Amino acid sequence: MRLPEWFSFIALGIPLSVLGELPWGGWLQIPALSVVWWRLGLLQSDSMRQHLAGGFALGLGYFVIGLWWIYISLHDIGGMHPALSATAVFLLSAYMAVFFALASALASRLGNRSIFLDSLIVAAAWVLMEYLRGQLFTGFPWLGFAESQVNGPFAAVAPLLGGLGSSFLVIWASMQIAQWRRSLTRALIPVGIILILMLGLNQLRFTEAAGTPISVRLIQGNFEQSLKWNPSAIARQIDFYSEAIQAHAADLIVIPETAFPWPQKDLPSQTIPSLAAFAQDSSSNILIGLIGVVPEANGTLRFSNRALGISANGGELYHYDKAHLVPFGEFIPPGFQWFVDAFKVPMSDFARGSLLQAPFLIERPKDDNLGAAITICYEDIFGNELAGRIRNSSAPVNVLINMTNLAWFGKSQAPSQQLRLSQMRSIETGLPSIRATNTGITAVIGPDGRVSDSLAQFTQATLSTSVQAYSGKTPFVLWGNWPILSLCSLILALAFMGRRRF
């Protein structure tokens, strides 16, 4: 592929990424993808090299624009050299773009049949590569086409087939539109039928309201990340959150990830007992983000990214240790100690929690108790893992709670991107989501994925609201990704057999 073509495909990826950030991004990305398929000549050439190169260049433009905020955490917060920070963003984007390249090459190799079948083949190839992107090397399924569908037409399929199901329909519909020259009616009529079907799916409900709404207080401290390792600033932060928690009672009070940025055993001696006394006196349940301490089998102690729960009845403290850790930030892959040393942040090698930790019990004196599935930071981008936790939980899960600190990424699109991911998790599970963040976006999301209440970013404030919990399980929670992965595998297997036959 010649250099001008490289740049043209990179240029196509940039607006595709930007469109996903807009209020109607889920709709706008579909015609934009149609242009991409037409320009890529996905089914018009058998050149494997062309499709690999074109898909890679497209992905490079898409991910560099969508993930540039990682530079802020590496350079502005971590103190890494600008050149090394920029290189790290480029290399991560290049790795992600490999999956675009593989999907493009696989689809072109198996396609070239009818309009409808070609669209199915492209969608199946893309979804399988998206799935692999979310699994290999701990996975990073950020910036999938599904998350923009919270503002698009295909979110309604997520309770059945998850976010990958939404991605499948995005690719399929855009590919159908891209082939309008072959036959306008055969290209567009199926898309219209599926859009009408989505209206019907929007009326389906797999979960139902559980008990009376709970009162909730979410405290957004808006503390700069650069102060997190300053002892006097840490003390002020702990005092602020302690006082804010005890300012008013609520059924549930949540503060962000590592809002107490200090090991639990080294906190001021009266901090936790004082909060426990308040919880019991006011019938409040409290979730605190802090640094946990985990004893190892050899007798040593390791840190963990922990949510500490204090129940209203004064019982034993609950804790959830983050299970899906961030490479380099929370654990060190083999051979990369030098990178972590350059990224000047202490406590970068946390202990990993179990995937099957019990939900936090929200105790209520006048109504049934409720179960909350906790996720910390980017754990809520792994929809299949969360569905598995709910499916295999020893107790019912009625609400999702995410505790996050996005001060690492400054004034970027990272908070809005993660908000959309949380919205997709609510749609998939049919459960409301509660997000407590340091700098935003602190929000409450209904079981339909709509934001019902939120705080402005970069403000120190408290969101006091009520949340209706839900009970039940969606088909996606019951089955996970198996149905959509089986469908995609079947499509590609049939395409492969048909290719060999002819």
Same domain for 183 and 330: no
What per-residue confidence (pLDDT) applies to 502?
Answer: 45
23 DSSP 8-state letter: T
pLDDT tens string 344-403: 555 556 788 888 899 999 998 877 889 999 999 989 999 999 999 999 998 999 999 999
Same domain for 402 and 292: yes
Q: What is the CATH number of the domain that holds 421?
A: 3.60.110.10
When pLDDT is averaged across residues 269-293 and rounded to a whole number, the result is: 93
Amino acid at 305: N
Same domain for 486 and 463: no
Between the CA of residue 453 and those of 241, 315, 342, 496, what are the distances in Å?
21, 31, 39, 49
Q: Does residue 344 have an active-site annotation?
A: no
pLDDT at 326 over 80: no
- How many residues are there in the chain? 502
Same domain for 316 and 391: yes
When pLDDT is averaged across residues 308-327 and rounded to a whole number, the result is: 88
Q: Does residue 488 have an active-site annotation?
A: no
What per-residue confidence (pLDDT) applies to 47?
Answer: 67
- C-alpha angle with apex 384: 168 to 410, nearest 5 degrees? 90
Same domain for 456 and 357: yes
Return the exposure string of 242-281: e unless at least 16 CB atoms fall within 10 Å of the residue's CB, then b. bebbbeebbbbbbbbbbbbbbbbeebeeebbeebbebbee
pLDDT tens string 432-466: 999 999 998 999 999 999 999 999 999 999 999 99
Between the CA of residue 137 and those of 308, 324, 333, 390, what are the distances in Å?
28, 11, 9, 24
> For tokens 């999907």, what's the residue?
103
Q: Domain range for residue 56?
A: 3-205+480-501
pLDDT at 163 over 60: yes
Same domain for 348 and 432: yes
Same domain for 432 and 289: yes
Same domain for 259 and 127: no
Q: Which of 130, 147, 257, 428 is catalytic?
A: 257
Same domain for 221 and 118: no
Q: Which of 147, 228, 363, 377 is catalytic?
A: 377
What per-residue confidence (pLDDT) applies to 112?
Answer: 66
Q: Which of 322, 428, 473, 488 is catalytic?
A: 322
Q: Does residue 257 have an active-site annotation?
A: yes
What per-residue confidence (pLDDT) applies to 388?
Answer: 94
400 close to 387: Cβ distance less than 8 angstroms: no
How many whole angstroms separate alpha carbon 14 and alpha carbon 67? 11
Same domain for 156 and 84: yes
Same domain for 71 and 41: yes
Same domain for 496 and 428: no
pLDDT tens string 396-426: 999 999 999 988 888 889 999 999 999 999 9
Q: How many domains does the chain have?
A: 2
Does residue 487 or residue 6 have the better pLDDT? 487
What is the CB-side half-sphere exposure of residue 307 using CA atoms within 13 A?
33
pLDDT tens string 133-151: 999 888 889 889 999 999 9
Split at pLDDT 50, 70, 90, the class of 334 is low
Handedness of CA 126, 130, 132, 137 (dihedral sign): positive
pLDDT at 216 over 90: yes
